[in-house]
């Protein structure tokens, strides 16, 4: 009996601690889930057999979705109220999303899978993974009030269409402009010869939707923006909030970056350029009145440039344009000044 009372007391104390420090708890939990899943999946799970590859892959998916998982968990703690929603109602929302997500996941796997891998194997691998975005979208419609408020702008976007267009085309335009400037300066043809252009376009489109649904959009921005940025901006300016987000996300990316930047480039990309990217993402989020969808599209557009690196590589000119754009945004929007308390991108306890 005493042990039960002690456990209950610890749980209550923990809940109160989290309620007083929701953002700190969110960052700690997101990083803990990331490190606790990705490091074992990358370095401990054997990949020399099919079972190990499957288990490692599933563990990695959990780590990649850690920002939204952390946001939902902390929201449940600080806003524990629930709404009774029928299973059928939730199924009507989640099932179509699950099917669409599964198709996207299979198409993305086929881009890198060996030709002899059967489609049934890709389907079986995709079935449980597609449940994650289906759960997020259904929670935006039928979760508790706190979770619906956190995820609302994924399914009910706000703001002017101009900023959604900027989100979609900023990185393609910067990449193209940087390559044009570089080619002109070096006396090269303006546009490189593109072989298998149709396949490249298909790969870029599939990559865009895969990032949007699985590896940067729903899974990351729902937490970083929907939970953290809104709360940070209730205390700090957008610029200070972006800096705190950037610092936390640099740490969160460490398991992936240890592999991705083995050949160099870490400081320039993750420390310098990623700071500017975080500022642009934060600015877009605020300009669209706290719309997670706008930043998810921005993230997907940025990462969908990766398949084009062989044709349109990152250039110094492109980096200069990115730096200039970020500086203009900071100055024009006076991002060092705090937003009004009634701004939709600022968290308010009473907002429903």
Contacts of 72 (CB under 8 A, 6+ apart): 139, 143, 147, 150
- Could you read off the pLDDT of 113-162 as tens digits, one per residue? 888 888 888 998 999 999 999 999 999 988 788 899 999 999 999 999 99
pLDDT value at residue 82: 67
Please tell me which residue, 1 or 299, carries the higher pLDDT value.
Answer: 299
Closest CA to 131 of 227, 203, 213, 196: 213
Q: Which tens digit of pLDDT belongs to each residue from 271-293?
A: 999 999 999 999 999 999 999 99
The single-letter DSSP state of residue 221 is: I
Q: Which of 248, 260, 259 is nearest to 30 (CA)?
A: 248
212 neighbors 218 (Cβ within 8 angstroms): yes
Sorted by sequence, the CB contacts under 8 Å of residue 57 that are 6+ apart come out as 41, 125
Contact 101, 125 (CB under 8 A): no
Query: Please, how many CA atoms are within 13 Å of residue 112, restricted to the half-sphere of its CB?
Result: 6
**Mean of pLDDT values over 246-262:** 92
The length of the chain, given as a count of residues: 352
- Comparing CA positions, the residue from 166, 189, 200 lying closest to residue 286 is 166
Task: State the pLDDT at residue 84.
Answer: 64
Give the model's pLDDT for residue 173. 96
* pTM of the model as a whole: 0.93
Q: 208-243, pLDDT tens digit by residue?
A: 999 999 999 999 999 999 999 999 999 999 999 999
Q: Cα–Cα distance between 109 and 123 in angstroms, integer?
A: 10
pLDDT(351) > 50: no
């Amino acid at each position: 009996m005493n042990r039960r009372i002690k456990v209950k007391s610890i749980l209550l104390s923990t809940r109160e601690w989290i309620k007083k420090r929701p953002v700190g708890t969110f960052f700690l939990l997101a990083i803990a889930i990331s490190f606790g899943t990705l490091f074992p999946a990358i370095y401990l799970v054997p990949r020399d057999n099919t079972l190990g590859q499957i288990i490692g892959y599933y563990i990695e998916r959990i780590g990649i979705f850690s920002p939204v998982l952390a946001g939902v968990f902390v929201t449940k703690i600080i806003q524990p109220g629930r709404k009774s929603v029928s299973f059928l109602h939730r199924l009507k929302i989640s099932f179509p999303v699950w099917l669409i997500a599964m198709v996207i996941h299979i198409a993305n796997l086929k881009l890198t899978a060996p030709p002899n891998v059967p489609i049934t194997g890709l389907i079986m691998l995709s079935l449980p993974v597609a449940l994650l975005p289906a759960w997020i979208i259904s929670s935006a419609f039928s979760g508790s009030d706190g979770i619906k408020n956190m995820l609302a702008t994924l399914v009910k976007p706000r703001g002017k269409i101009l900023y959604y267009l900027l989100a979609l085309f900023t990185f393609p335009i910067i990449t193209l402009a940087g390559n044009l400037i570089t080619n002109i300066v070096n006396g090269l043809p303006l546009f490189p010869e593109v072989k298998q252009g149709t396949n490249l376009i298909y790969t870029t489109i599939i990559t865009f939707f895969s990032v949007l649904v699985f590896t940067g959009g729903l899974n990351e921005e729902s937490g970083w923006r929907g939970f953290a940025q809104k709360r940070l901006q209730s205390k700090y300016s957008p610029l200070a909030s972006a800096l705190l987000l950037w610092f936390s996300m640099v740490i969160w990316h460490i398991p992936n970056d240890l592999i991705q930047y083995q050949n160099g480039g870490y400081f320039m990309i993750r420390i310098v350029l990623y700071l500017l990217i975080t500022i642009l993402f934060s600015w877009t989020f605020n300009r669209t009145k706290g719309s997670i969808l706008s930043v998810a599209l921005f993230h997907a557009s940025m990462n969908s440039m990766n398949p084009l690196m062989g044709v349109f590589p990152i250039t110094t000119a492109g980096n200069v344009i990115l730096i200039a754009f970020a500086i203009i945004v900071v100055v024009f929007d006076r991002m060092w000044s705090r937003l009004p308390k009634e701004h939709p991108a600022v968290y308010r306890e009473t907002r429903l």
